[in-house]
Structure 1
Amino acid sequence: MTFKKIAIYGKGGIGKSTTVSNIAAAYDGSTFVIGCDPKADTTRTLVGKRIPTILDSIREKTNPDLDDIVYSGYNNTLCVESGGPEPGVGCAGRGVIVAMKLLDKVGAFDDNPDLIIYDVLGDVVCGGFSVPLREEYADEVYIVTSGEYMSLYAANNIAKGIESLNGKLGGIICNCRNVKDEVEIVTEFASLISSKVIGIIPRSDLVQTSEFKASTVVETFPDSDQSNIYHDLIDTIMDNDNFSSPTPMNSDEFEKFFYSYVS
Structure 2
Amino acid sequence: MTKRIAIYGKGGIGKSTTVSNIAAIYADIGKKVLVIGCDPKADTTRTLVHKRIPTVVKTLSKNKNPQIEDLIFSGYKDIKCVESGGPEPGIGCAGRGVIVAMKRLENLEVLTQKFDVIIYDVLGDVVCGGFSVPLREKYADETFIVTSGEFMSLYAANNISRGILKLKSKLSGIILNSKGIENEEEIVSEFSSLINTNVIGKISRSDLIQKSEIDAKTVVEKFPNSTEREEYYTLASDILENDNYSIPKPLEDEVLEDFFKQFI
Normalising to structure 1: TM-score of the pair? 0.98
Match for residue 95 of structure 1 among 89, 94, 97:
97
> Cα deviation per residue 1:133-181 (whole Å; 9 max; x = unaligned)?
0000001100000000110000000000011111121100000001110
2:175 is aligned with what amino acid? Answer: I
Distance (whole Å) between structure 1 residues aligned to residue 37 and residue 67 of structure 2: 18
1:249 is the counterpart of 2:251: yes
Match of 1:159 in 2: 161
SS of the aligned residue for 1:200 comes to strand
Match of 1:197 in 2: 199
Question: How far off is 1:112 after superposition?
Answer: 2.0
SS of the aligned residue for 1:143 comes to strand
> Cα deviation per residue 1:225-260 (whole Å; 9 max; x = unaligned)?
000111111100010011101000011111111111
2:23 is aligned with what amino acid? Answer: A
User: Root-mean-square deviation (CA), in Å?
Assistant: 0.8
> Cα deviation per residue 1:51-106 (whole Å; 9 max; x = unaligned)?
00000110110111100000001021100000010000000010000000000111
Distance (whole Å) between structure 1 residues aligned to residue 194 and residue 125 of structure 2: 20
SS of the aligned residue for 2:131 comes to helix
Distance (whole Å) between structure 2 residues aligned to residue 160 and residue 173 of structure 1: 17
Structure 1 unaligned runs (5+)? none
Runs of 4+ in 1 over 4 A off after TM superposition: none
Match of 1:176 in 2: 178
Aligned residues: 261
Contact kept, 8 Å, 1:66 with 1:107, in 2: the verdict is no
1:190 is aligned with what amino acid? Answer: S
Match for residue 261 of structure 1 among 256, 260, 263:
263
Contact kept, 8 Å, 2:4 with 2:118, in 1: the verdict is yes
Match of 1:42 in 2: 44
Distance (whole Å) between structure 2 residues aligned to residue 224 and residue 135 of structure 1: 38
Match for residue 82 of structure 1 among 70, 81, 84:
84
Distance (whole Å) between structure 1 residues aligned to residue 4 and residue 96 of structure 2: 21
Normalising to structure 2: TM-score of the pair? 0.97
Contact kept, 8 Å, 1:44 with 1:214, in 2: the verdict is yes
- Farther off after superposition, 118-127 or 131-140: 118-127
Structure 2 unaligned runs (5+)? none
Distance (whole Å) between structure 1 residues aligned to residue 32 and residue 41 of structure 2: 25
Contact kept, 8 Å, 1:17 with 1:119, in 2: the verdict is yes
Distance (whole Å) between structure 2 residues aligned to residue 168 and residue 116 of structure 1: 17
Match for residue 32 of structure 1 among 26, 34, 49:
34
Contact kept, 8 Å, 2:50 with 2:216, in 1: the verdict is yes
1:22 is the counterpart of 2:21: yes
Distance (whole Å) between structure 2 residues aligned to residue 183 and residue 106 of structure 1: 43
Match of 1:6 in 2: 5
Match for residue 233 of structure 2 among 226, 231, 234:
231
Question: How far off is 1:124 after superposition?
Answer: 5.8
SS of the aligned residue for 2:21 comes to helix
Match of 1:131 in 2: 133
Distance (whole Å) between structure 1 residues aligned to residue 97 and residue 151 of structure 2: 29
- Farther off after superposition, 39-48 or 118-127: 118-127
Distance (whole Å) between structure 2 residues aligned to residue 43 and residue 243 of structure 1: 27
